[in-house]
Amino acid sequence: MTRRELAKALTGIERNEFVPPPADARARIIGITGAPGAGKSTLAAAMLGELRRRSLRVAVLAVDPSSPFTGGALLGDRIRMSGFEDDDGVFIRSMASRGALGGLAPTTAAAARLLASSGFDIILIETVGVGQAEVEIARVASVTAVVLAPNMGDDVQAGKAGILEIAGVLIINKADLPGADRLEALLREELPSIPLFKTVAPEGRGVGEVVAHLLSVA
């Protein structure tokens, strides 16, 4: 499909007017989730750049909060991923959560299937900023990265029975800030079996290691 045809098909999915074909099993779906303020969007943009350097075709579904006036996506994530507009190997789509719980839009799973059948190697799904019980991304993604930031230790304790249960990978973003080492120690103590990485997304620090691991397990 061309970009225009793909965009039209995704709109049809959101309006329940189009049923996507079966996903290509070779496409890998990677979820990026975590609490607001952890830097998910900046990290997703850095991961997108790293994936393109590896010559992989990437589609991004960024689930944004819905506008209280129009019901549409507020498009914050798409703005942060600017710079790929002329890259034919990238397709980015913001989806409005439309009040759905779980961090995804009601049609995110169907949209991911369409993209996975359209020649993309990787589909990144960035959830809206989620709470501890909002774990729908685990039903859609092959592997889910849970992003935290320093001084979120209380969230570790609260999340062990929720969002952290779905983590295939833990990422401490903003790892240059005070408290990163303390959070790392806490996570390694509480969740020793889950791979953990530290990143500074705006600088690209640690992102290559994250991408290499995700590609090996997705």
Q: Quote the pLDDT of residue 70.
A: 45
CB 46 within 8 A of CB 32: no
* One pLDDT digit (tens) per residue for the chain, 218 residues: 888 999 999 999 999 898 888 877 789 999 999 888 899 999 999 999 999 999 999 999 998 765 444 444 455 545 556 678 889 999 999 887 765 555 688 899 999 999 999 999 999 999 876 665 567 888 899 999 999 999 865 556 555 557 788 899 999 999 999 999 999 998 998 899 999 999 999 999 999 999 999 999 98
CB 33 within 8 A of CB 141: no
CB 151 within 8 A of CB 41: no
What is the C-alpha separation between 144 and 154, in angstroms, rounded?
A: 21
What is the C-alpha separation between 215 and 23, in angstroms, rounded?
A: 18
| CATH number for position 69 | 3.40.50.300
The position carrying tokens 């969002």 is 163
**Residue ranges making up the domain that contains 88:** 3-217
Q: Quote the pLDDT of residue 40.
A: 92
Tally the domains of the chain: 1
Side-chain-side CA neighbours of residue 185 (13 Å): 5
List the one residue out of 36, 49, 29, 63 whose CA is nearest residue 173.
Answer: 36
